[in-house]
Amino acid sequence: MFRKVTLAAAVGAAFVAPLPAIGADDAEVQKIRDEIKELKEGYETRIHQLEQRLDQTQQPAAATAPAPSAPASANSFNPAISLILNGQVNNLQRDPSTYHIGSFIPGVGDGGVGPGTRGFSLGESELTFAANIDPYFSGALTLSVDSQNEVLVEESFIQNSGALPGVTLKFGRMLSGFGYLNEIHAHAWDFVNAPLVHQAFFGGQLLEDGLQARWLAPTLIFVELGVETGRGSAFPGSDRDKNGANSAMVFAHVGDDVGISNSYRVGASYRATRAQDRTYDDVNGVGTAVTDAFTGDSKMWGVDFVWKWAPNGNTVDQNFRFQAEYMHRTEDGSLAYDTSGANLNGSYRSSQSGWYVQGAYQFMPRWRVGLRYDELSSGRPDIGLITSGALTAADFPLLAENNPKRSTAMIDFSPSEFSRFRLQFARDEARFNAADNEIFLQYIMSLGTHGAHKF
C-alpha cells in the first residue's frame, strides 16, 4: 500500500504542477494540452497495471495454494534451521560437584545451577527449526544438548499473530516470560552463565508448558501486557499429576526511544505456582544423608530494567547495554524431614530475594567488555520442626541464613556476527563461608538461519 500511494502521489504532483507562462497562440497551447492528456492517460494505465500486479503478490498464500489433492512442492515446507555450537574450558578452584547456593533449596546437581565441570566441556548447544505453517500460524522447535550429553526440548511452540489486533498467542513449551533474561537463549547472554537469582529461583531457566498471550497497545510508546499459564512442573513448582493449570503469571512492559541514541524497557512480573513433594538432599546434625521435601505455594514477583545506547542508533562501532533485575519469592507450606526414614512434617515459610546488575560495552568493532554483580538474601526461614523443638537447626544445614554473592568480569571478541570468543573471570561466594575463583574460556558459533533476538 505504501508503494502504491507514493507512486500515485508522485505522478499526480507532476500533472497538477502549473505550466510556465508561454507566449504561444491558441493552436500551440491546445497541442501541448493534447500531448499532456495522452501522456497522463498512458501513465494512468501503467499505474493501474502495477497496482493489479501488487495486489496479486499480496494475496494470502492460501489463496494461491494448490488443491489438497495436488502434490505440494518439496521445498514449500522446509523450515529455517539454525545450529548454535557452544563449548568452553573451565578452571575452577573448588570441586563443582559440591556446589550449592547456601540457604536455597535447589541443592546440588540441579541443571543450570553451578559453574559446570572442570576442564574442557561442551556448553549448551542448540538446534532450532522454525517456519510459517500457514497464513495463521508459525512454529518453532529448539533442542538443547548440555555437557552431560542430555538432550532437552527447550522450546516447542505454535504461535499465532494477527487474529486479534495487537495480540500474539503462543502455546506449547516456551521459555517463560518472567522478567527479562529468562526469555533469551543462553548463547545470546552477555556472560557465560545465568545470574545467581535465576539459578536459585528457577534452577537455571524457567520453562513452561502452557499458553501465553501478549497484547501490544496501539500507543506511541511501547506498551505490552501479557498473561501466561501452564503445567507449572518446572522448579520452583513440581509435577502434581493434576488436570488444568498449575501456574499463573501476569507481566507488563513499557519502553521507548530517548533521542536517536538511547532506548529503554521497564518490566514487572508476578507468578504463582505450587509444589508437591519437591525434594532436595541434605545432611542432618549427626552427618547422615537425608532427603527432605517441600509442599506448598511458591509466589514470585520481579522488576527488570534495560537501557541501550548506540551513537546515532548505529551499533556497529560502539554500543552499551545496562541491565538489572530484582526478584522476590515467598514459599508457604510444609517441610517433610527424612522422607524415607523418620518422615517428620512441620510448617515452612521463607521470604527470599535476589538481584543483579550488569553492563556490556562494545568499545570498538568486534570487542566488548562487561561487568556483573549479583547477590541473594535468604532471610531466616520459619521451619516448624525447629520451632516445635522436634529437630534443631543443625538438621537443616543447607537452609541456614546466608547472603550469596558473586562478581564477574568478561571480555569477548566477535570475528563476525556468527562467531564469538569470550574470556570470563568470576569471584563466586555463593557457598557457605567459601569463595571460588572461576575462569571460563568460551566459544559460540552460529550456523544457518537464526531469528532476531529480543530487545
Domain CATH code at residue 165: 2.40.160.10
CB 287 within 8 A of CB 251: no
Residue 47: φ, ψ to 5°: -60, -40
Domain identity same for 2 and 107: no
Domain identity same for 313 and 370: yes
DSSP class per residue in 60-97: -HHHHSPPTTSPPPTTTTPPEEEEEEEEEEEEESS-GG
CB 261 within 8 A of CB 249: no
Predicted local confidence at residue 15, as pLDDT: 39
Identify the domain containing residue 137 by its residue range. Answer: 83-448
Domain identity same for 437 and 353: yes
Domain identity same for 1 and 118: no
Which residue, chain included where needed, has cell 541434605? 282
Cα–Cα dist 266/195, whole Å: 19
Domain identity same for 10 and 156: no
Domain identity same for 8 and 88: no
Domain identity same for 90 and 5: no
CB 236 within 8 A of CB 328: no
Domain identity same for 325 and 284: yes
Is 415 within a domain?
yes
Q: Residue 96: is the preceding peptide bond cis (ω within 30°)?
A: no
Cα–Cα dist 247/244, whole Å: 9
pTM of the model: 0.81
Domain identity same for 45 and 156: no
**Residue 298, burial from CB neighbour count under 10 angstroms (0-12, 13-18, 19+):** buried
Is 268 within a domain?
yes
Is 61 within a domain?
no
Domain count, the chain: 2
Domain identity same for 44 and 108: no
Which residue, chain included where needed, has cell 546437581? 109
Distance of CA 35 to the CA centre of its chain: 62
Predicted local confidence at residue 3, as pLDDT: 41
Is 351 within a domain?
yes
pLDDT tens across the length of the chain (455 residues): 444 434 344 434 443 344 444 444 677 777 787 777 777 666 666 676 666 666 555 444 333 334 443 344 444 557 899 999 999 999 999 999 888 898 888 654 455 788 989 999 988 899 999 999 988 999 999 999 887 788 999 999 999 988 889 999 999 999 999 999 999 999 999 999 999 999 999 998 999 999 999 999 999 999 999 999 999 999 999 988 888 899 999 999 999 999 999 999 999 999 999 999 999 999 999 999 999 999 999 999 999 999 999 999 999 999 999 999 999 999 999 999 999 999 999 999 999 999 999 999 999 999 999 999 999 999 989 999 999 999 999 999 989 999 999 999 999 999 999 999 999 999 999 999 889 999 999 999 999 877 777 77
Is 77 within a domain?
no
- Quote the cell numbers at residue 252: 507488563
pLDDT in tens, 247-272: 999 999 999 999 999 999 999 999 99
What one-character DSSP code corresponds to residue 5? H
Give bridge partners of residue 157 from the DSSP assignment: 140, 172
CB 203 within 8 A of CB 243: no
Neighbours of 314 (CB within 10 A): 11
Is 281 within a domain?
yes
Q: Residues with Cβ < 8 Å from 290, sequence gap 6 or more?
A: 281, 282, 283, 284, 337, 338, 341, 395
